[in-house]
Structure 1
Amino acid sequence: MKLQLFSYIDQVIEYKESLRFELEEAQKAIDDLFTSIFSSRDWFVNYSSRIKEDDSLKEKIIRQDYFRRYREPQAMFHQLSDIIGSRIECRFINDEEVAYQALFKHFPYPNNGGFYRSDRDPRIELRLGDDQPKQQKNGFSSYRIDGRFLGRTVLNFELQIKSIVNVFWNEIDHKILYKNYNYVVTEAFVRQIMASIKGDLELIDRQLQMVYEHLTSLDQAGSWSPNQQLESFIGRTIQDIYVMPLRESSNLFFDFRASTDLLTEFLFTRVKYESKEGMASEFIRILEEASRAKLDEVRFGYTLDFDPPIDYHSDITREMGDLINKAVNENLAWNFMVAILFDLNPDQKQREIFRTFVDYIYFRIIHCVRSTFEEEGASPADHEGIIDEISMFYIRYSMVYPDAIYFTLEGLEDFKKVLRHMIDVWLTQGDSEAVFQVFTEAYASQEIEGRLGEVEDLQAHQEKGGRDHGHND
């Protein structure tokens, strides 16, 4: 004699078949409604639906032990929340929230049980009072909204909202784990692997969204060169791959925007004046290195010590290198910036990339001062001494309380405004003290008190030490 369970399952399936017309009517009405609402939205990708198959229905009755919970097959059938399943697919994870919020506009009329009626088809209702997204058994969250169709028979349906990557994730999770009943000794390990895959997919989603936003903004970015657009894209990638995960995992919050700007400007400086192909190749290289990054492998939070010391090109770059090295060992933003720099250049020795980075900052500053002298009609060759003094003074000033903003294009543009006045004083008075007084008056009111005094102490110390050391070319 067969188990009563199997007879129960057969009765449920027979009842479902008796409602075939009602189910198809409900499915068509639901399809028409959501397609008409969302198909014209820019974030919309696809819509799909299905009536629950017999095999899936059998599996769910057994897995949920419905036979013991609902003695009447018809009562059990009407408890199923997803006898009809519909899914709105959107581009990105962020679009899921956009799609969910749009539902409130089209289901404005409240009914009992937390349901809201459609303004286009009063037979269709959604329960919009629940918290969304809902937590799933696999530990992740998903937008799953209960609905019902008020036809000759009340039929339940479930509306899912999923991005492209979450559609893919749902498929692999459902096939590999959700309906895999084989005994797996290492199930916890498999779960960890799946969680890692989910994290990688979310990263891909963010990168795809950045690509989309970049492409859609090209027409509006007339004042931006292609190179600036690539740098901006890499900057956002660094924020998403390195900075945001650090904030989430370590609860460390610091302003990394200037550091990101300086880092991306440096990464592209070697190819900025080459061909477009060279710029594109470097862009792809950086993107590939960043996509392989693992935050726990980035050497953040460790002191930076080179043994033997780096052999810099001159005393002035040695001093600057020491100041930056000190900042790396004391300042979170500088420490993280250099850690990312090393991570994005794994094939280059760290001491070499660090020295190149120091040289880059120094020559950026010296070029800023020299070019401003030229713009003011003064030959740099005739003013080498004061140019070196101004450059080193600015470096020392910037590194007392180190902030990467002073070395970015934006920071140097601000410096040039003061520098023009300094040069004017030099050309008319020839007095270096008066020149630095201009700097003091311009910066003292907006900077941390005591910075300029520390610069003067450091300058005096370095000048004393400089008498004991020769040039190291």
Structure 2
Amino acid sequence: MLSQESFAFIDRCVAELEHRGQDLEQTKYEIQKFIEDNVLSQLSLKNILFHARVKEPSSLREKIIRKNAFIGPQDEVKFIDELDDLIGVRLVCLLQKEEEELFRQLDQKVFLESDQSGLSIVPGTLEARPYLRLNKTNQPDIQKNGKKIFKMKGQWVTETKILNVEIQLKSLSHTFWGEVEHMLFYKNYAYMVGSGFYKDIMNSIGEMLHSIDHQLEALRDHLSVNDETQQIEEIKQMVTKLMYSVYQPAVNTMLRSEVDLKQVYELVAELLFIRIYRRDFASAKAAEVINRINTGVAQLTPDSFIFGQYNEHRSHSNLKELAAFIGGLAKSQDIFWKTFIAVYMLIKQETDFTTVCDNITSELMSLYAAYQDEFIDLDNIGVSLLSNSIQGAVISYFFNYKKIDYFLPNVFQKKILDAITQFINNHQHEFSDIKPALINPENEEHVKNLVAFYLKLMIDLVVNKQIKVDELRMLNDWLNNKEKDWLWIPSVNTDELSILISKQNNVDEKQFKKLYEKK
């Protein structure tokens, strides 16, 4: 599990937060009064509710572990200072459609000027410190569940200090939904067979604010789903829930904190049921897993986190670099990967670490294998080069990203697979036209690097929802390199690329798609 140094750092951070408790509560009161006097009074929207809170020690512990914040320099004072939600403020309006209007009024009627930081402030408050300043860009944000949220980073500026503040804008229904989701699922992932049903019920509660008929229709539609694929999914969710209910308490005890590792159990279940397309096979697999868990054969203890060494000489994998990397994650301070590999080994009853890493590597990459169906002719040497380059690009991005949700279909995997499919459809014909006589080791390596770079941009749109303008400049330099006769370069609208670069801003998906528009 975590090292003693990591636990000590967490304890120091909590002690530092508690030490500041009285001052932070006073600051919270001052922020509330500032909002009442300088913000709410300028809004035409009425009956805006709001409340503020100081981050709780239990929430701080969970965040440090979940974010791997103990990796790197361990300065508890600096860590608390840099928390972006040390103090949280929520403004609550009545209706969902009023969220956007509330943001518009804050943007266009209240926070109209900026201070030396470039952040937005209320006119007239700069000289009369303390004051609140906000970053209003990139709103609303898109959460992992696909829902929009207005969440702005801000700062409370006094004569002597600057404290980070997070401002959320929510309707009553979104507030209710968020609280219920938090209470039921955030740290108590105890759903059961039919959990999809319960999720739909929760969604329908939100829809009830619009129409009771819509709620009943959603419920009826869900109850009518009896296809085999859905039933396999329900069985998979049951196994996920069982793993969570058995292993999560043990993990919390070892961590001395509640950390939501539901993604760990979801990914284990994905690999357990990989390439299972029949309900009877899924039921048999579930029975096997349940038996191992309930008989105590797959019991999670501190010894479960003692891993061997990955031996490349004994490996039969053709992806040894990735397998060794995953083996390294097991030895890191990343509690998600450590728990994932420990649980995987218990369920699979496999003790050879090299075999485990090889098997995990093969199964994880098979989650991305569907793009192979898009190729017209894999016997074509150019198309085969494209296929190999894409696999390398997927692996290369993961080496830098490292998080477990990269392989989860309900988070990023399906969206990344869609991006890869789009890339293949846009460029496959260019690769099929490559003449075999032109291929040499240097050109081949260049193609793989360029595909990896270009796909990185597309995956960044999925993971980060934007591409940095500096990386567009790198793409432009690559396209304009006339010194060598490259084997392949992407056919993009270079005029549009120059326009995007000239704006000096990061690029979203809509803007990036313009690169495929004809000149």
Please give the TM-score of this superposition, normalised by the length of structure 1: 0.43
Larger Rg: 1
Please give the TM-score of this superposition, normalised by the length of structure 2: 0.40
